[in-house]
Structure 1
Amino acid sequence: MTELPPTPRAWLSRAAALLAGLLLSTAALASGGEGGLQHAGTDLGDRASLQRGAALFMNYCSGCHSLKYLRYARMAQDLGLTEAEVKANLDFTGAKFGDHILSPMPPELGQAAFGKAPPDLSLIARVRGGDWIYTYLKSFYLDASRPVGWNNRLFPNASMPNPLWTLQGVQQPVYGAADATGERLVEGFSISQKGSQTPQQFDRTVRDITAFLEYAGEPAALKRPGIGVWVVLFLAFFTFLAWLLKREYWRDVH
């Protein structure tokens, strides 16, 4: 008996199954090497959080890291800040209001100090995700074997020191049992020197910085919900017009 060709419905079912398999495989690969991430719990609709995150980033991170795809003026517009507020509290390089947010550190100085020039962080949230940034900033610990004296459990052997240690305090690693290779993995931390913030306050600090970096990676995300409402209303109105047109066309068809 000759086998009949698949029907369109069968083709659609197969395509859907293939797409689902690809998505599951991609998710498994993406999560394979970065398990144990803490949930950031950011809210881009919380303008106060974004304002605090901007201030924290500019005070603790912008000395080394740039946001070359974001301008001071755009940040002020999106975060509800005036030019005077930006100049007084966020612009420490004397840049113009319409300039991009660039670090004052020359690349060669970063190379000499850290062994690698600090990267631009404009798209770090889109590449790594908010949960990764949140966990990373909370995972620094003292390590005398590293050139800068710090290490990171999430991103081992990072060249970056802990920029927030005065707020968080100094973390010492708590090692677990050795694995098959004899290496002892860091299972947790203990605070050997308290910082200026409580753990709850520091969690909010890191969450605010994470939210700001998520915004910096896609500033349009703040306006998307408002645009989405108008898109839905347009589609509803267009559907109503299409229904009226269809009824008019088929009025005399029996």
Structure 2
Amino acid sequence: MKANIMKKFLLALLFVPVTVFASGAALHLDRAPDIQGDQPALQNGAKLFVNYCLNCHGLSFMRYNRLTELGLTDQQVRENLMFTADKIGEQMRVAARPAEQKKWFGVMPPDLSLVARARASEHGSGADWLYTYLRSFYRDDQRPTGWNNAIFPNVGMPHILWELQGQQALNHETHKLDLAVPGQLSTTEYDKQVGDLVGFLVWAGEPAAGFRRHLGYVVLGFLVILFGVSYALKKAYWKDIK
């Protein structure tokens, strides 16, 4: 009995990559705006994450005090962003217990620390996937939450930003999304908010990326100068030698 179950499990694993590849073949992702280095936009993304996402999804690899790298002070973080911890050095975890989340949702919502990296694929970057995903929810009465997603069919997550975006409907003839009920923001404004949120998730996955990029430019500049000095020394050393 156990042997048969194991065989079925292994066969399922073999077919998973094929299924994923086939389902993603026609996937189109919109390009996410690059806001790395734009501190006001990243601060807004952090605010959106804390207010809309942190109820269910944590950033266990991120500590609140690292938000000061976005130009915020410790006091600003404590007063405006720190709702699930007592000390600023604590991790950005959800307040709900894992057992409670599993009871409510049937499965624990994933941690989003590395979601931008995890969603990277041949179709585009993880940022592109997240940016498209958060703009592709539509009303579906057949789903338990009342929501579905054009690039993540039968998604279990409800549309947490629906008040901002409004309610979209899927046109089954054109397979496009139409805005059926406007939200608090215009389409352009909503796209900007999603871009800031996605940009923050990209930053949270690798906060030191900006420093490393800057350090790389410094090293390259140093090597260019060193090459020039070395070439000048070489010419001065060999000028009298024929």
TM-score (norm 2): 0.81
- State how far apart, in whole Å, the 2-side matches of 1:147 and 1:109 are: 19
Q: Which residue is equivalent to 2:157?
A: 160
Q: Which residue is equivalent to 1:200?
A: 188
2:84–2:92 Cα contact (<8 Å) kept:
no
TM-superposed CA distance for 1:96, in Å, is: 1.2
TM-superposed CA distance for 1:230, in Å, is: 1.5
- State how far apart, in whole Å, the 1-side matches of 2:169 and 2:196 are: 24
1:1-254 pair list within 5 angstroms: 33=25, 35-76=27-68, 78-128=69-119, 129-176=126-173, 187-247=175-235, 250=238, 253-254=241-242
RMSD (Å) for aligned C-alpha atoms: 2.2
Q: Which residue is equivalent to 1:23?
A: none
Letter in 2 for 1:209: L
- Label 1:117 to 1:52 Cα distance change in 2 as closer, same or farther (>3 A): same
Task: Provide Cα deviations, 1:9-63, integer angstroms capped at 9, x if missing partner.
Answer: xxxxxxxxxxxxxxxxxxxx79953621111122212111101100001000011
1:114–1:160 Cα contact (<8 Å) kept:
no
2:171 is paired with a residue whose SS is strand
- State how far apart, in whole Å, the 2-side matches of 1:220 and 1:64 are: 26
- State how far apart, in whole Å, the 2-side matches of 1:139 and 1:102 are: 26
1:67–1:100 Cα contact (<8 Å) kept:
yes
2:167 is paired with a residue whose SS is strand
TM-superposed CA distance for 1:87, in Å, is: 0.9
Q: Which residue is equivalent to 2:123?
A: none
Letter in 1 for 2:77: V
- State how far apart, in whole Å, the 2-side matches of 1:231 and 1:221 are: 15
1:115–1:159 Cα contact (<8 Å) kept:
no
1:70–1:122 Cα contact (<8 Å) kept:
yes
- Label 1:209 to 1:108 Cα distance change in 2 as closer, same or farther (>3 A): same
The unaligned stretches of length 5 or more in structure 2 are: 1-20, 120-125
Letter in 2 for 1:35: L
1:150–1:161 Cα contact (<8 Å) kept:
yes
Greater Cα radius of gyration, structure 1 or 2 = 1
2:172 is paired with a residue whose SS is strand
Q: What count of residue pairs does the alignment treat as equivalent?
A: 216
Which piece of structure 1 moves more, 38-47 or 153-162? 38-47
- State how far apart, in whole Å, the 1-side matches of 2:148 and 2:24 are: 22
TM-superposed CA distance for 1:116, in Å, is: 1.8
Task: Provide Cα deviations, 1:97-118, integer angstroms capped at 9, x if missing partner.
Answer: 1111111122222222222211
2:160 is paired with a residue whose SS is coil
TM-superposed CA distance for 1:83, in Å, is: 0.8
- State how far apart, in whole Å, the 2-side matches of 1:30 and 1:86 are: 44
- Label 1:31 to 1:155 Cα distance change in 2 as closer, same or farther (>3 A): closer
TM-superposed CA distance for 1:149, in Å, is: 2.0
1:37 is paired with a residue whose SS is coil
1:219 is paired with a residue whose SS is coil
